Structure 1
Amino acid sequence: MSKSLLVILFFMVQLLSAQEIHVLDADTSEPISNVAVFNDDKSKTGITDFDGRVDLSIFRPGERIFFKHLSYQVRRSSRSQIGRQGNKIYMILKAEQLEEVVMSVSKWEQQKKDVPNKIEVVTAKNIEFVNPQTSADLLANTGKVFVQKSQLGGGSPMIRGFATNRLLLSVDGVRMNNAIFRGGNLQNVISIDPFSVKSTEIIFGPGSVIYGSDAIGGVMNFYTKRPILSQTDSLEVSGESFYRFSSANMENTLHAEVNLGKQKWGSLTSISYNRFGDMVMGKHGPQSYLRHWYVQTENGDDQLIDNRNARKQVSTGYNQLSVMQKISFQPSNSWNYDLGLHYSETSDYSRYDRLIRPNKENNGLRSAVWYYGPQKWFLGNFQLKQRGKGIFYDGLKITTAYQFFEESRNDRDFGALDLFSTKEMVDAISVNIDFENKRIGDLRLYYGGEYIHNQVNSKGYVQNTETSLVSGAASRYPDDSNWQTVAGYVNAEYKLKPNFTMLSGMRYSHVWINSLFDTTYYDFPFKDANLDNGALTGSLGFSWFPKADLQLTLNGSTGFRAPNIDDVGKIFDSEPGAVVVPNPDLEPEYAYNVELGAYKNFNDKLMLRGAAYYTYLVDALVRREFNFNGRGVIDYKGEMSEVLAIQNAAKAYVCGLEFGLEAFLANNFSISSNFTITEGVEEEEDGSDSHGRHVAPAFGDFHLIWKNQRFKADVFLNYNGSISYDNLSASERSKTYIYAVDNEGNPYSPSWHTLNFRSQYDISQKIKASMSVENITSQRYRPYSSGVVAPGTNLVLAVGYTF
């Protein structure tokens, strides 16, 4: 045998005996360094390098191998088994969250244990297991956020007594709130595809130091998936596909994504399509929730049709398409360039709470049709990130974004010929520059600036459905309005002692509004609205560990919300017999908040969390009676209607308690629970007060969870308290058609609970299947302030394939 042949055989033997594997995070697929690798008696050991790689050639093919890391659960496998899984092994983070990293408070990575704010983190693993229908359901499934739904195509979060334009949404660090985010319920969160979300961070309480206007009650940050780069010179192709079905509304959801990765660049393409049918409510509950009839138009005539299945909420179904494209370029360890493109579009979808309103005679329905036109959202986001080379900073992040929003409203009364429509489009551009400086001993500084500009275009139309003639009508907002803001902030984190961290910050924001009112349809007593407002906000808090297993936090902060185009210039019918008109004389509202939190860890077996808070809101922007040209009643769409307007007319306070529990009873068995109590009152100028409109009832959950490496099951209870008639806000009392009736004939929101089951099984490393049964006892309930009734017994099936 020649020497060359011997050399070839030698290298072949070495190649076959070697087995380099890749140890990855199960949630992020990122490499894990410093993982200890050993056999039963620890006679053979290894450790993963910076790229999460380790050679297992010293272990026999069937020998049991352990993988151990301080932050992860111990994993056990063998060479042969890992080989069948593509030489990759995934490790799961431990349940203990004190070492968790969060980004929402400073826009840079911080240890969660050093942050005095209450933050809820929803990881990719949580999202995969919960398997939400929409991003609104993703928030609701945390057990810490209450979600209202006026229709199936919606979901308006409520946090600590605040909602809509007093909460802030962001996607990949880009503010989603725009100039027409209203005080009424919003459904913009459903534009975010839950299958594209890598993690969600929810800040409870004001976040105005970092996020500016609107961040009064909380901030919801959605961080979407990023392309995964290759660890080798070759192109790595990976991806997944997913199908979901739910029986309560005959949902069919398809999702697919493909990742292309090289060492310096990567591409991620994601697409989801949802088809939702009409929602079917539960069997046991208030009879007033049933849909006994609906409107059908035949040959131009509106007819009341008996609903054969009164539990079926006719006209709640809709479709949605979501697309995401991400491109990342990393020329070195110091520079990152990321481009993100997001697009979401719904079909037309009915506003269900308006379709069930009775007419004046209470013998039929008021509306023949009431639907939103397609809700469209586009986000183009480019981010540059540098680390370690600046003179005055260790981290630099520049984020530029363009967003486009489109929505429309279309309604026609029963028996009427005129279909009224308004269409709104918003163009939003933003530029953010953020710095991180961690060179000053135990002090870390975060500072930056922001500029945002919103252009609002709004049109109104009326169409005669008999002649198809279209003519102009009043728009919802003054057309060609603009809203803009410029701001600067500084945030400091100072570790006085290893167990005591202080966080403090300040921000100045300036906001401008320019609107010109069209007097063609209404004789406004003003021609324009030109607002010029500034706001200074701040925060101060600390995180203290008097013992290693005990954490105490205290945080004081202020927040503000500047009036937007919706506040200043809106015209719409808020309820039967009432119309909201513009008011150009508005000023910002301010919130003052204090929060005390505690966390106790009992030997990693039992963990208790609690928080108490108080928020005081002054110069609150609320809807109140108003005079229009000296009149309190005007003709609106042929009906004499009471005049209302947004005004700085109230003060308000909200206080509450939040509790959380995690208990690990055995290696595979655990318990978790959350409970939230909120109280809130709006104080009028005349000394009277009323219950806050967005103060949710007491709510919570209780979970029994069992899991091993391949199977996870969760039996859980969701529950909500009641809100009596006396505690309903004045605006809610008038919506008798969405509430149950108490013994005195008054509307109220009853308490409810559901029993549920959720499971997931890893058929193989590539195939996962899940099955859930929601509302097992088929309770008929309508969450507080919601129009649509929640689903009855709902079977959810899903299967996913990863390659």
Structure 2
Amino acid sequence: MAHVVSAMASETSPEDLTDLSLEQLLNLEVISASRLGQKSSQAPTSVSILTANDIRTFGWRTLAEALNSMRGLFTSNDRNYSYLGIRGFMRGGDYNSRILLMIDGQRMNENIYDGGYIAQEFMLDMDLVERIEYIPGSGSSIYGANAFLGMINVVTKQGKAIDGSQLAGEIGTFDTYKGRVSYGKTLKNGTDLLFSASHYDTAGVENLYFPGYDSPETNNGIAHKMDDERADRLFGKIKFEELTLSGGYVDRGRHVPTAAFDGIFNDPLFFTDDKQFFSNLKYEKALNENTSLLLKGFYQGYDYYGDQAYIVNDARVINHDEASGRWWGGEAQLTTHPFEGHRLIAGLEYQYDQRQRLLNYDLDPYLPYLESHRNGHRVEVYLQDDIQLLDDLVFSAGARLDYHHMLKNLQLNPRVGLIWSPLTNTQFKLLYSSTFRAPNAWERDYNAFGFVDNPLMREEQIKSYEAIAEWRSDSNLRLLGTLFYNDISQLLEGHLTGDADGNYALINAGRFHAYGGELEAEKRWSNGRLLKASYTYSLLTNENRHGAWANASPQNLFKLHYAEPLFDNYLSLGLESIFIDSRKNGLGGKVNGYELVNINLSSDKLIHGLDTSFGIYNVFDSHYQMLGVSENIDVLRMNGREFRLKFQLTF
């Protein structure tokens, strides 16, 4: 729901982002209609940006792969969905509901699980992405619900960035195939068009071995042909003068090889399917040199179903799980400079959750477990003032008031920031913010299979403190250091109810503290060479366990990226090394840390109009570990080395 205007603060036009220098990136207006600030270097947060050229150079196929490369972020995969952790905090199985995910400023978290999907479930093909903006918690909390840990905004390309028709194809290890057709153009009357359709399909690993199921009754622990996945996507955008109409659709299906949720191991029925769509109409108008207006309306939907078999009284029973959501709403925002030294932003957002439906039942014999139907309103009012106290000192103050139909009380959350720029190339920032997360429909109403609903749920809360120092040289070298502290309270956790049946209920009992710091150095050369390294240390403590190291939390992250143009720019080399530290798995054990090394070679100059790339993912063939999903699968081994080949023809 939050708005992002993706404009340049210099003469560089949005479609030229593939060749931005570091200085231009730092002058880029992100989240600029702003609640956050003007240029990224001056915003009251520590902004991270990946460009389309970065995506091409390093060959990231999904949003999850791109996010895993960014400072302070890490991903996990349970062979069904991908999950994002921020600064040491991750909750496996929450479908990224504590992160606000947006496309061109439009909220993509659906209204059932509040899920923000980042792998093949994500709405966009990565070839349509102009850039990715990441704002950690302190800077994003002004956006309210779901910007609990941070915000990800994916900015799409304009049609003139393609300037014609494109055909693209990819092949890879494990019988992986992808095809895409796109058209983009700016017409003579100024209308900009972009349309795209793509299909992805993979057979996956033919035989996955799980030691916890190693017995003759469970196929000796081998899940056979249970790793396949497919995804279909559509996206379109039309921009004419002040109006922009956009929409997208994704349909992703996958077999689940892990027998999660007490399913029968190696049963080919276990399949999940996620569909999501959005439509958005946006009007942006500069009323005068000091004031601009944004109006927006949207309609969105999400549907999920999953079938699995399990054993009841020695009989195989098929269970059907289903969710369906529809929501619509709009936003009005005014940005103005009412008097010298002030930049004021005021806005109103509205969302009506028209449908929030959950169903679960056994098919034969029919036995219902869950049927929930909800609807309700969300209203948010926000106000922010960026005050120029001195030539080199800005005080940014904002507040947001939320009504959410899942909560009884109004939510008021402030954000303040102090930005000192003693030199034009140096900034120091002190930030404080708080925000909340309301229970979602699934958490509120799920009351089957050992869980009972809890009508007394309250909001989760977080208070964030951050100090940032940033310096950049005239030669495109940037150095960044941060210190952060997050106080997380009233987190929803499963606890025994004490009844005779041994049921669980979700209650607001969790309390966590996160302490840490980040270092990042980035150097971009004019010929396309890039060297970037980042290190994050975070200690997430569970205060209900006497400050013990929390589950699923790596304490150390190290990312290294190097790009080099070869043979007079006929080839581009992208080298990526990612280290993720060990994590506790919640079952009394630990998954090992790992280092992932990827290499990608790309060229758009061998043949006119043809862009090719060849990637080796997981160069050293490491079957690195992810968090398990059950006592039988406490550790998940990921795939080994993969090869990827891609062709893209523009005409």
TM-score normalised to structure 2 length: 0.87
Q: Match of 2:373?
A: 480
CA separation in 2, counterparts of 1:417 and 1:679?
Answer: 45
SS in 2 for 1:545: strand
Q: Match of 2:558?
A: 700
Deviations 1:738-785 (A, max 9, x none): xxxxxxxx6211121133312211224522111111222211112345
1:793 aligns to 2:641 (yes or no): yes
Q: Aligned letter for 1:432?
A: E
Q: Please tell me whether the aligned partners of residues 31 and 51 of structure 1 are also in contact (alpha carbons under 8 angstroms).
A: no
Q: Please tell me whether the aligned partners of residues 207 and 559 of structure 1 are also in contact (alpha carbons under 8 angstroms).
A: no
Q: Match of 1:116?
A: 44
Q: Match of 1:343?
A: 249
Q: Aligned letter for 2:562?
A: L
CA separation in 2, counterparts of 1:51 and 1:219?
Answer: 21
| 1:566-715 → structure 2 map (5 Å cutoff) | 566-573=442-449, 579-604=450-475, 606-627=477-498, 631-633=499-501, 642-663=502-523, 669-684=529-544, 688-707=546-565, 709-715=569-575
Q: Identify the structure with bigger relative contact order (alpha carbons < 8 Å, sequence gap 6+).
A: 2
1:327 aligns to 2:268 (yes or no): no
Q: Please tell me whether the aligned partners of residues 710 and 761 of structure 1 are also in contact (alpha carbons under 8 angstroms).
A: yes
Q: Match of 1:409?
A: 306
| 1:523-602 → structure 2 map (5 Å cutoff) | 531-573=407-449, 579-602=450-473
Deviations 1:305-358 (A, max 9, x none): 358xx7x8741211100001212222xxxxx111111010013x1233335x99
Deviations 1:472-525 (A, max 9, x none): 4112xx522124211100112223334333322111001113xxxxxxxxxxxx
Q: Relative to structure 1, is the Cα distance of residues 107 and 277 closer, same or farther in structure 2, using a 3 angstrom cutoff? A: farther
How many Å apart are 1:669 and its aligned residue? 4.6
Q: Relative to structure 1, is the Cα distance of residues 193 and 705 closer, same or farther in structure 2, using a 3 angstrom cutoff? A: closer
Q: Aligned letter for 1:251?
A: T
% same residue: 18
Q: Please tell me whether the aligned partners of residues 625 and 632 of structure 1 are also in contact (alpha carbons under 8 angstroms).
A: no
How many Å apart are 1:440 and its aligned residue? 2.2
CA separation in 2, counterparts of 1:604 and 1:245?
Answer: 39
Q: Please tell me whether the aligned partners of residues 119 and 202 of structure 1 are also in contact (alpha carbons under 8 angstroms).
A: yes
Pick aligned residue for 1:453 from 331, 334, 352:
352
1:272 aligns to 2:198 (yes or no): yes
Higher mean C-alpha displacement, 271-280 vs 492-501: 492-501
| 1:253-332 → structure 2 map (5 Å cutoff) | 253-262=178-187, 263-279=189-205, 290-291=209-210, 304-305=218-219, 314-330=225-241
CA separation in 2, counterparts of 1:797 and 1:396?
Answer: 45
Q: Match of 1:503?
A: 396
How many Å apart are 1:303 and its aligned residue? 6.2
CA separation in 2, counterparts of 1:369 and 1:184?
Answer: 27
CA separation in 2, counterparts of 1:30 and 1:678?
Answer: 33
Q: Match of 2:20?
A: 93
Q: Relative to structure 1, is the Cα distance of residues 306 and 784 closer, same or farther in structure 2, using a 3 angstrom cutoff? A: closer
Q: Please tell me whether the aligned partners of residues 367 and 413 of structure 1 are also in contact (alpha carbons under 8 angstroms).
A: no
1:489 aligns to 2:379 (yes or no): no
Q: Match of 1:770?
A: 613
1:721 aligns to 2:581 (yes or no): yes
SS in 1 for 2:582: coil
1:753 aligns to 2:595 (yes or no): yes
CA separation in 1, counterparts of 2:582 and 2:445?
Answer: 35
SS in 1 for 2:146: coil
How many Å apart are 1:419 and its aligned residue? 0.6
Q: Match of 1:174?
A: 106
Q: Aligned letter for 1:706?
A: E
Q: Match of 1:155?
A: 82
The two structures, once aligned, show a CA RMSD in angstroms of: 3.5
SS in 2 for 1:179: coil
How many Å apart are 1:184 and its aligned residue? 12
CA separation in 1, counterparts of 2:387 and 2:330?
Answer: 28
Q: Aligned letter for 1:557?
A: S
Deviations 1:605-660 (A, max 9, x none): 64321111001022222222224xxx152xxxxxxxx4211111132211221221
| 1:361-510 → structure 2 map (5 Å cutoff) | 368=267, 371-389=270-288, 394-413=291-310, 416-454=315-353, 455-464=355-364, 471-475=366-370, 478-510=371-403
Q: Please tell me whether the aligned partners of residues 435 and 448 of structure 1 are also in contact (alpha carbons under 8 angstroms).
A: yes
How many Å apart are 1:259 and its aligned residue? 1.9
SS in 1 for 2:626: coil
Q: Relative to structure 1, is the Cα distance of residues 387 and 109 closer, same or farther in structure 2, using a 3 angstrom cutoff? A: farther
How many Å apart are 1:295 and its aligned residue? 11
Deviations 1:713-758 (A, max 9, x none): 12332212123xxxx3xxx433xxxxxxxxxxx6211121133312
Q: Relative to structure 1, is the Cα distance of residues 788 and 134 closer, same or farther in structure 2, using a 3 angstrom cutoff? A: farther
How many Å apart are 1:664 and its aligned residue? 5.8
Q: Please tell me whether the aligned partners of residues 168 and 180 of structure 2 are also in contact (alpha carbons under 8 angstroms).
A: yes
Q: Please tell me whether the aligned partners of residues 656 and 676 of structure 1 are also in contact (alpha carbons under 8 angstroms).
A: yes
Deviations 1:224-283 (A, max 9, x none): 233449xxxxxx961322222221x321111121124322323211111101221489xx
Instruction: Name structure 1 gaps, 5 residues minimum.
Output: 1-27, 35-49, 53-71, 73-89, 230-235, 282-288, 297-301, 331-335, 360-364, 514-530, 574-578, 634-641, 735-745
Q: Relative to structure 1, is the Cα distance of residues 306 and 650 closer, same or farther in structure 2, using a 3 angstrom cutoff? A: closer
Q: Aligned letter for 2:202?
A: F
CA separation in 2, counterparts of 1:156 and 1:276?
Answer: 20
Q: Relative to structure 1, is the Cα distance of residues 185 and 680 closer, same or farther in structure 2, using a 3 angstrom cutoff? A: farther
How many Å apart are 1:368 and its aligned residue? 3.3
SS in 2 for 1:112: coil
Q: Match of 2:632?
A: none
Q: Please tell me whether the aligned partners of residues 150 and 352 of structure 1 are also in contact (alpha carbons under 8 angstroms).
A: no
Instruction: Name structure 2 gaps, 5 residues minimum.
Output: 1-5, 630-634
Q: Please tell me whether the aligned partners of residues 141 and 150 of structure 2 are also in contact (alpha carbons under 8 angstroms).
A: no
Q: Relative to structure 1, is the Cα distance of residues 372 and 265 closer, same or farther in structure 2, using a 3 angstrom cutoff? A: same
How many Å apart are 1:190 and its aligned residue? 2.5
CA separation in 2, counterparts of 1:313 and 1:139?
Answer: 31
SS in 2 for 1:305: helix
Q: Aligned letter for 1:595?
A: E
TM-score normalised to structure 1 length: 0.72
How many residues were matched structurally? 628
How many Å apart are 1:421 and its aligned residue? 0.9
SS in 1 for 2:624: coil
